[in-house]
Amino acid sequence: MLKNKVIILLLVFAFVTVLSACNSSDNAEQASNNQEDSSDTSDSSTPDSGDSGGEAEVDYDPLGKYDETITLSTGICVEPGASKSLPEGDTLEDNEYTRAVKEDLNIELKEYWSVSCTNKDQKISLSIASNDLPDAMIVNRVQLRKLVEAGQIADLSEAVKYALPMSQDAWASSDGKALASATFDGKLMAIPSSNHSDGSIKNLWIRKDWLDNLGLEVPQTLEDLETVAKAFIEQDPDGNGQDDTLGIMGMDVNDILYSTFLEGADQGLGSIFYAKDAYPGYWVEGPDGQATYGSVLPETKEALSFLRDWYDEGLIDTQLGIRKDNNEPIIAGKAGIFFQSLWAVYEPLSNAWKGDPTANWQAYAVPLNGEGKWNQTVNATSNNFIVVRKDYEHPEAAVKALNYRLTYGDYYEFEHGLDASHIPLRVDTQMRDQMYRIAELIERVAIDGEPREILDVPWEPSLYEQDYDDYLEVKKEPYDEYDLEYWNTDNIVTLPRIYARVVGTRPIRDPNRNDISSLVYEQTPTMSERWANLMKLETETFLKIIMGAAPLDDFDKFVEDWKKQGGDTITSEVRDIVK
């Protein structure tokens, strides 16, 4: 593990022409030997003017060590029981990780405050209200905006230049959206997280063995899907001679009808809406070119009418919204179609295979809209942000702390048993298409014959190597055939992870994919008071319309009520944010 971490450094710093980077790498390699004395490196925050007499040049070494110890106080969110896992004598601010940061960077991490994660938002709100901030902390979108408006945090436009290349690449993978989300009036006011979008995309999972039994092709359009669902219900696809199979699963009591800008659905029927170019739950550009809530647009009414007909025909699970566990029919081999992300391989499919190891569940980028596009709503690029207190002398220290976590955090978690709570300033830094890249690299080696060395990338190379080894254990040749018969289903422990990586990402890699982002992913002031009731109104109305318990024209009444009960005010607030 530690050897792999050193490899990361060599790859990441190949182009950094300073000796201090090499020295930091040497220090980290000694982490398992009680952090022995390391070589001195230059203070990367101190300009090196040279003899030219010109403007000083700054050395933006991502892991450059300060000449003198500096203190960086942080606010810490601690999960219940996290402190109990620390070795005897260690604390949140004095443990293997914090001692390593001081040894390698000369940054002393101090605990300004620590609270349970459930109380974190309240603590941050109090800190903002009293202008009593740690040197650095992690906040959400709403808190970031408040801090900017209050003028309480530092401009990090210069500090971000210390970021690792892997962070820069991760931010770039969102086409600039990550950094833009933390930019106000042209100034970068926070270091954003970067989340992969792959887990938010809902594949069509379908029993391909049922398709084969009935001589049917993979559906492409909504019309095709209607034909297949009807056949799955009426033509005994499992061949047991009984009328006991379902068509399309929807949502259970624990799920939502579709993902929203604040919450992701587990399964649901969002893909049906998207194929009709309707985006309920998301803020999209309306007919007037301004931010509009997708649930109140005419396209959503049309999609509801479509789903209403399907439900009436029995194509959609008749226990929509009232079933206790949507996974039960899938695991029992009674359902043939559902929408879920690549993580469906873990649950329900891993359990479905235990009951029937021949259930050939495959994932596809369908149904397509009228223009042949596979529309999918995606999650926010960034949810969390590292902010630095205004007037803190070394704002780049927060970036260096993040760099250290990205380079060595896994080592201290896995090798020293530290909890994520013990590692301050921890935000995700993932490529927007991280899962796509893993599958692509594996297949380039296995199918195209490229050298295995291409797996040695800065983004978790040890994980990529392990995934490839696991791939060879569970995947049978030919490697470009994906039906379940070409997989080792006996290895039920390793199979789900690799099946998700390869089969689950195939739709994500489809050229017809069309991502739909929400114009905002944060709550406005009025939302905090009204949104729960508005969502209740929306969900109840839409389910009643789909299930035939209310007329389709109740949609128009819903729009009117939604606007009166706070929707118009919220829309105005959202438009102000978008501006």
Single out the residue in 395, 422, 449 at which a domain terminates: 422
> Cβ–Cβ contacts within 10 Å for residue 157, how many?
14
**pLDDT tens, position by position, 11-38:** 333 333 333 333 333 434 433 333 333 3
Record the tokens describing residue 111, joined without a space. Answer: 């605990």
**pLDDT tens, position by position, 401-459:** 999 998 887 777 767 667 777 788 988 888 888 888 889 999 999 999 999 999 887 76
Q: Quote the pTM value.
A: 0.86
- 88 exposure class (CB count in 10 Å sphere: 0-12, 13-18, 19+): exposed
Residue type, 67: D
* 360 contacts 483 by C-beta, under 8 angstroms: yes
97 and 185 share one domain = yes
pLDDT of 12 reads 38
Q: How far apart are alpha carbons 174 and 150 in whole angstroms?
A: 28
| CATH number of the domain that residue 124 is part of | 3.40.190.10
115 and 15 share one domain = yes
Within a domain: 505: no
Length of the chain (residues): 579
Record the tokens describing residue 121, joined without a space. Answer: 């938002």
Within a domain: 492: no
Mean pLDDT of residues grouped by 10 in the chain (579 residues)?
38 36 39 36 39 64 97 90 77 89 97 91 95 97 96 98 93 93 97 93 98 98 98 97 96 97 97 98 97 98 98 97 96 98 96 95 98 97 96 97 88 71 85 87 95 83 82 96 96 92 95 96 95 98 98 98 98 95
310 and 218 share one domain = yes
Which residues 6+ apart lie within 8 Å of 288 measured at CB? none
Instruction: From residue 512, give the alpha-carbon distance in Å to each of 116, 201, 368, 515.
Output: 44, 13, 8, 10
295 and 328 share one domain = yes
- Domain that residue 331 falls in: 202-377+516-578
365 and 397 share one domain = no
End-to-end Cα, the chain, rounded Å = 47
239 and 151 share one domain = no
37 and 157 share one domain = yes
Comparing CA positions, the residue from 254, 296, 262, 263 lying closest to residue 279 is: 296
121 and 226 share one domain = no
Record the tokens describing residue 309, joined without a space. Answer: 């007909």
pLDDT of 426 reads 86
Which residues 6+ apart lie within 8 Å of 274 measured at CB? 369, 375, 376, 377, 516
Q: Which helix (H) or strand (E) holds 387?
A: strand 385-388
pLDDT of 134 reads 97
Q: How far apart are alpha carbons 275 and 185 in whole angstroms?
A: 37
Q: Which helix (H) or strand (E) holds 283?
A: strand 283-285
* 385 contacts 139 by C-beta, under 8 angstroms: yes
Domain count for the chain:
2
pLDDT of 26 reads 41
